[in-house]
Amino acid sequence: MTLISRISLHRKLILTISLICAFFWSVFSVSWDKDLFNSNGANTTFLILGSLFKPNLSPEILILGVKATFITLMYASAGMLIAIVIAVIFGTLGSGVLFGNSVFGNAIATISRSFLGFIRAIHELVWAFLFVSSIGLSPYAAVFALGIPYGGILGRILADILADAPKNSILALRTSGASRLQTLFYGYLPMVSANIISYTMYRFECALRSSAIMSFIGIAGIGYQIQLSLSDLKFDEVWTFIFFLVAMAVLLDFWSIKLRESMNIPKHERKKMNWVQISQVLAVFLALTTWIYIISLDDASFFGIFTENNLLFAKKFFSSMFGIGVENPAFLDIEQWKNAISLTIETIIMGVLAIGFTAVASLLTVLLASKNVATGQLTMGNSLLTKPFFYLIRGFYIFTRSVPELVWAMLIVFIIKPGIIPGAIALALHNIGILGKLWAEVIDEMDTRPIRNLQLNGANYVQMLFYGVIPSVFPQFLSFLFYRAEVIIRTTIVVGLAGAGGLGQEFKMSMSFFDYTNVTLLLICYIVIVFVTDFLSGLSRKIVKENSAIAEP
Amino acid sequence: MKKFNLVFLALLSIILVVSGCSTKEEAKPKKEDKKVVVSDKPFKIGAIPDQSMADITRSMDDVAKYLSEETGLKVEFVPSVDYAALVTSFQRGETQLAWFGGLTGVQARNLVPEAEAIAQRPRDAEFKSVFITSVNSGINKLEDLKGNSFTFGSESSTSGHLMPRYFITEAGIDPLKDFDGKPNFSGSHDTTYKLVEAGTFKAGALNIAVWEKAIAEKKVDTNKVKVFYTTPDYYDYNWTINNVDEVYGEGTKEKITKALLNMDSDQKAILDLFATDKFVETKNENYTAIEEVAKSLNIIK
């Protein structure tokens, strides 16, 4: 063993230990001693879960659901189109493939990447609040609020993929006299398009959920219906609408899988009516209907945003955010800072708790959710129970991840007392579905031979998990966990809006009381924790990668 | 793969072209409209979402219809999901007339100095909040709330948050520290009594009018929930009108005020939904006390 590998092993150990410590710290910072549940929480739980099995399927509700789903889909696609435009422009600039390795090129790349980093740090719902206050409640406020952070996320991925693309064929193009722009279109893009498209499809599924929670600023759609039914405590309707969300996610997932399958087949071997063609038609169709729909909405004139009056209000809003003409702005007030910092700590605890819950719950279920186990390939054993468990847990994953964190939070505050615990549980519920799926896919693709060896030598489930599966999938598991951690921290503010405490709740209060300088202060704290998390996560992923690279023969 | 790039490029151009064209088409006729007939612009009214959305939409659509008939304006009701969103839209001149609560009215008039509170229900001059709890909770006075879970309505509500918070604080209870957990914000008065009835929260505070209506319509079971404290009087709900004469013509404010004050038994259906038999005059000064309370609780700076 070389010195380097010793150090990196060491580092990995430190990383793992600090992760576990962070989780325990968060668990102990929350007061669990007082009874956690609302008085009568058991009954409410029963009521909510009971209506899960008898959703309201009356024709009016179903028709309402279809209409609302359509609206949600329209906003999601409109937002995605804007996101794609942002991603293509800034992602390409940020990748550095257009201007090469000059000082100018590097500067452009750095600026573009920081810009993308900033716009994706702020959650879409926070963007939405800011837009509504500055440009008014127009459908465009929701579309831009969706498009901007999604543009940031897609843009970063595009930049990363372009920068990491193999350089051989590009070099070949360059030497035969192609310009940099030409290498982009004929070299880079064809190489990375499959990757990009499959990631975009996944983001589209997320955009649907984001579009649903735009109800919080008053945009119609499935989230709006859920909110209305929730405030009347009609849980049977709530579940019906949630099933619409689930159905949308399943359909999109199906589309994405089919498209990927079809793209993996060489062109000349594809059937006449293949999914690549179908997808092209669908995409164009969606893009057209979306914009026709948004524009046909009442008052949704795009240039209406830029009227003199509107600019005046936007200016007013932003200057009050910066405390111009405000006596004693919050961000210059020690007391307010103390308050904001204690809320920030609360928010971090909520985030870490959520990450811990997610990791534990996914770890407990992931083996049963992997295809390898279900088919008996991994364990050789073909128990009668594995198949049903596989479908049950995969179904559970799809279900929990189809419901936005905000909606989970709104439901859970009926059961658990308002505070950071319901927030953490809401975040965890949504993320178990995502992390569980990602992890299960890692196991699906792992080398099964060592495990079968263990099995043949008489190892039981726990032994196989700890000596077989975990060591070989651990780096990738951690890497996905860090990636989700970034998302979870970014979303803590959103569950706070539903009464789960932390920065989010205070943000909503300050918006309601028109205390815009406090909004600024809270946003500063929020952006700092998002950036710090991104930084730590990036660092940790590097450590994990280093180690796994060494582990490979 | 090449095809895909083409599709993406095509998509991009379509977005740009489509959004470009249609907005141009739309923008033009609108401008002309403004110049030719001023009052053709819809006159938008709103209401704070303090009750179940279905009830509000029903009553406000009727108000819009009535005002259209009386004034000749094209009155439309625009629903709002959030108290603050209504105040913002009022500030931006997107809502011309709004049914505000005491606090939201003060916020709106602070943002639009020309705005004026023009009408209210007789009961709004002596409005109250009720504190409710389940019958066997053992809570009998405000001081007993210590150590129990509690829910307000919306954070922007006068009768569901501001005044109850004021009287709780007066009783020596710190709403941030002395409850069992943090106080909840249910969002609306209807949700508040439903949550207390369901036992989700031990106690809650809400608007007396909504409470009495719920009892009259048997929406709440008084065998399960009881009132244990009723606050002293304060000024609450009001119709506040924006600076409308400029856009809709001189005398619009007067016309609207008159129409509201003239509602009588012929508009019984509308008035019933507001739980009143008429609207009476009011003025901005009536709400100074509310503003003071909001300032003392740091809700208005």
Residue ranges of domains in chain A, CATH in brackets: 62-304 (1.10.3720.10), 355-551 (1.10.3720.10)
User: B29: pLDDT confidence band, cut at 50, 70 and 90?
Assistant: very low
Query: What is the pLDDT, as a whole number, of residue A7?
Result: 59
- Sort out which chain A residues have CB atoms less than 8 A from B7's CB and list them: 280, 283-284
Closest CA to B42 of B66, B61, B70, B64: B64
Query: What is the pLDDT, as a whole number, of residue B259?
Result: 94
Which is more confidently placed, A493 or A325? A493
User: A19: pLDDT confidence band, cut at 50, 70 and 90?
Assistant: confident
Which is more confidently placed, A446 or A331? A331
From CA A138, how far away is CA A161, in angstroms rounded?
35
From CA A105, how far away is CA A108, in angstroms rounded?
5
Looking at mean pLDDT, say which of A6-20, A189-203, A388-402 comes out highest. Answer: A388-402
User: A551: pLDDT confidence band, cut at 50, 70 and 90?
Assistant: very low
Cβ(B130)–Cβ(B213) below 8 Å: no
**Residue B176: strand, helix, or coil:** coil
Evaluate if residue B31 carries a pLDDT over 50: no
Length of chain B: 301
Residue A432 burial (10 A CB sphere; 0-12, 13-18, 19+): buried
The mean of the pLDDT values for chain A is: 86
Evaluate if residue A407 carries a pLDDT over 90: yes
Query: What is the pLDDT, as a whole number, of residue A525?
Result: 96
Query: What is the pLDDT, as a whole number, of residue A382?
Result: 59
Evaluate if residue B17 carries a pLDDT over 50: no
- The residues, any chain, with a CB within 8 Å of residue A3's CB and separated by 6 or more, are none
User: Can you give the pTM of this predicted structure?
Assistant: 0.86
Domains in chain B with CATH codes:
38-125+236-287 (3.40.190.10), 128-230 (3.40.190.10)
Query: What is the pLDDT, as a whole number, of residue B241?
Result: 96
User: B43: pLDDT confidence band, cut at 50, 70 and 90?
Assistant: very high
Element containing residue A151 per DSSP (H, E): helix A139-164
Query: What is the pLDDT, as a whole number, of residue A190?
Result: 80
DSSP A339-365: HHHHHHHHHHHHHHHHHHHHHHHHHHH
Q: Which of A43, A137, A140, A217 to mutate to test the interface with B (most CBs of B within 10 A)?
A: A137
Element containing residue B92 per DSSP (H, E): none
Evaluate if residue B144 carries a pLDDT over 90: yes
Evaluate if residue A378 carries a pLDDT over 70: no
Q: What is the mean pLDDT of residues A160-174?
A: 84
Give the range among A44-58, A102-116, B31-45 with minimum mean pLDDT.
B31-45
Cβ B1–A499 below 8 Å, yes or no? no
Evaluate if residue A306 carries a pLDDT over 80: no
Evaluate if residue A164 carries a pLDDT over 90: no
Query: Within a 13 Å sphere around the CA of B54, how many CA atoms are in the beta-carbon half?
Result: 7
Which is more confidently placed, A246 or A165? A246
Cβ A137–B194 below 8 Å, yes or no? no
The mean of the pLDDT values for chain B is: 86
From CA A284, how far away is CA A212, in angstroms rounded?
22
Evaluate if residue A550 carries a pLDDT over 50: no
From CA A131, how far away is CA A137, in angstroms rounded?
8
Q: Which of B6, B9, B11, B210 to mutate to test the interface with A (most CBs of A within 10 A)?
A: B11
- Sort out which chain A residues have CB atoms less than 8 A from B108's CB and list them: none
Query: What is the pLDDT, as a whole number, of residue B256?
Result: 94
CA distance A13 to chain B (A): 38
Percent of chain A whose pLDDT exceeds 70: 92
From CA A512, how far away is CA A488, in angstroms rounded?
25
- pLDDT, tens digit, for every residue of B246-300? 889 888 999 999 999 999 888 888 898 888 899 999 999 999 999 999 999 988 8
What is the chain B residue with the closest CA to A224?
Answer: B81
Record the tokens describing residue B42, joined without a space. Answer: 């819809």
Q: What is the mean pLDDT of residues A46-59?
A: 89
- pLDDT, tens digit, for every residue of A215-251? 888 888 999 999 888 887 889 999 999 999 999 999 9
Strands B238-241 and B97-100: antiparallel
DSSP class of residue A469 equals: I
Evaluate if residue B3 carries a pLDDT over 70: no
Query: What is the pLDDT, as a whole number, of residue B157?
Result: 93
**What single-letter amino acid sits at B105?**
G
CA distances to A17, A496, A505, A520, B9 from A349, rounded to whole Å, are 17, 13, 15, 22, 45
Evaluate if residue B27 carries a pLDDT over 50: no
Cβ B19–A302 below 8 Å, yes or no? yes
- The residues, any chain, with a CB within 8 Å of residue A113's CB and separated by 6 or more, are A94, A156, A159
Evaluate if residue A6 carries a pLDDT over 80: no
- Sort out which chain B residues have CB atoms less than 8 A from A194's CB and list them: 1
- pLDDT, tens digit, for every residue of B189-200? 998 998 898 888
Q: Which of A31, A36, A40 to mutate to test the interface with B (most CBs of B within 10 A)?
A: A40
DSSP A384-447: TTHHHHHHHHHHHHHHHHHS-HHHHHHHHTTTB-SSHHHHHHHHHHHHHHHHHHHHHHHHHHS-
Cβ(B243)–Cβ(B97) below 8 Å: no
Q: Which of A275, A512, A518 to mutate to test the interface with B (most CBs of B within 10 A)?
A: A512
DSSP A29-73: HS--SS--BPTTHHHHHHHHHHHHHS----HHHHHHHHHHHHHHH
Cβ B3–A81 below 8 Å, yes or no? no
Evaluate if residue A113 carries a pLDDT over 80: yes
Strand partners, B238: B100
Evaluate if residue A120 carries a pLDDT over 80: yes
Cβ B81–A216 below 8 Å, yes or no? yes
User: B23: pLDDT confidence band, cut at 50, 70 and 90?
Assistant: very low
Strand partners, B100: B238
Query: Of A228, A284, A512, which has the smallest distance from its Cβ to B156's Cβ?
Result: A512
Record the tokens describing residue A163, joined without a space. Answer: 């920068």
Evaluate if residue A353 carries a pLDDT over 90: yes
Residue that the structure tokens 């909110």 belong to: A227
From CA A135, how far away is CA A306, in angstroms rounded?
8
B156 and A CB contact within 8 Å:
yes
Cβ(B210)–Cβ(B129) below 8 Å: no
φ, ψ for residue B51, nearest 5 deg: -130, -175
Closest CA to B178 of B221, B148, B137, B212: B148
- The residues, any chain, with a CB within 8 Å of residue A133's CB and separated by 6 or more, are A317, A511, A516, B88
Closest CA to A77 of A290, A387, A279: A290
Cβ B198–A413 below 8 Å, yes or no? no
- Sort out which chain B residues have CB atoms less than 8 A from A224's CB and list them: 81
Evaluate if residue A74 carries a pLDDT over 90: yes
From CA A87, how far away is CA A79, in angstroms rounded?
12
Cβ A34–B180 below 8 Å, yes or no? yes
CA distance A133 to chain B (A): 7
Evaluate if residue A513 carries a pLDDT over 80: yes
Phi-psi region for residue B186, left (φ > 0), alpha (ψ -120 to 50) or beta? alpha
User: B30: pLDDT confidence band, cut at 50, 70 and 90?
Assistant: very low
DSSP class of residue B230 equals: E
Evaluate if residue A130 carries a pLDDT over 80: yes
Record the tokens describing residue A268, joined without a space. Answer: 């000349």
